[in-house]
Amino acid sequence: MHLKKLHPFVALLVLISTTATTGCLTVPQNELDELASIGANFLKGYLAQLSIPRQKGSNYEAWNIKLESFNLGAISIKQPKRCQFRICIKGAYLRARADWKAWKKILFFTLRKSGSLRATGSKVDLCLTIELGTRNGRPYFSYVPKSCYANIGKFDAKVYNTSLKWIINLIINLFEKKIRDKIEDRICPAVESAMTKNVAKLNQQLLANLHLRG
């Protein structure tokens, strides 16, 4: 059976099942590295579809806030506890977009503008913990709840295709941290949702493939 034809996580679990010990799986480092890479790419697809609720402030409003891409950085994996493995992505990079309108009072009139903005996030760190073990002699995979950590180190939002964009960018600088924080706050819930929704399916596929292996 070719591992590449299986779901990525299933392929790794099938691969490491041969080194199972009682209750936990003993995984060689080279297979741990492969597990981390596959796990990170699995999450990449979900994060690239992340959307943020409408945001309002005293002089702005932003909506249709979505990630356009999430590019992986350095990937590592460690085993902090027996049966548990900590996967970390360091230095990732993301792109986001949003529609906006903003206004600013200047002397005796109010400047009003609207358009689209593009944002980039760099030095993005993401970590989560998974558990690999055995139940009744069969391997299982699970996500450790509330183990996710996410941080956007640098975030920059700019508007384009509008007149007086230097003034509008000054306004956007006042609320870009709020957009950054909202994106950051939504990363871990998206990760936990992806892991929770897929864990049952992954375990079913794993057991089925192990049965085929005999």
Instruction: Name the least confident of 9-18, 33-42, 61-70.
Output: 9-18
pLDDT at 175: 76
**pTM metric for this prediction:** 0.73
Output the DSSP codes for 26-38: ---HHHHHHHHHH
Q: Which residue has the higher pLDDT, 4 or 68?
A: 68
Task: Please give the single-letter amino acid code of residue 150.
Answer: A
CB atoms within 10 A of CB 194: 17
What is the length of the chain? 214
pLDDT at residue 1 is higher than 70: no
Q: Looking at the domain assignment, is residue 212 inside a domain?
A: no
Q: Looking at the domain assignment, is residue 176 inside a domain?
A: yes
Q: Which domain holds residue 53?
A: 3-207
Q: Looking at the domain assignment, is residue 213 inside a domain?
A: no
pLDDT at 21: 41
Q: Looking at the domain assignment, is residue 214 inside a domain?
A: no
- C-alpha 165/C-alpha 154 separation (Å) is 21
pLDDT at 4: 46
Q: pLDDT digit string (tens) for 48-102?
A: 888 888 888 887 888 998 888 888 888 888 887 778 888 899 999 999 988 888 7
- C-alpha 158/C-alpha 155 separation (Å) is 10
Of the candidates 123, 122, 132, the one whose C-alpha atom is nearest the C-alpha of residue 36 is 132
pLDDT at 164: 63
CATH (domain of 57): 3.15.10.10
pLDDT at residue 20 is higher than 70: no
CA within 13 Å, CB half, 146:
0
The number of folded domains in the chain is: 1
pLDDT at residue 179 is higher than 90: no
Q: pLDDT digit string (tens) for 136-165?
A: 777 777 888 889 999 999 999 887 666 666
Q: Looking at the domain assignment, is residue 37 inside a domain?
A: yes
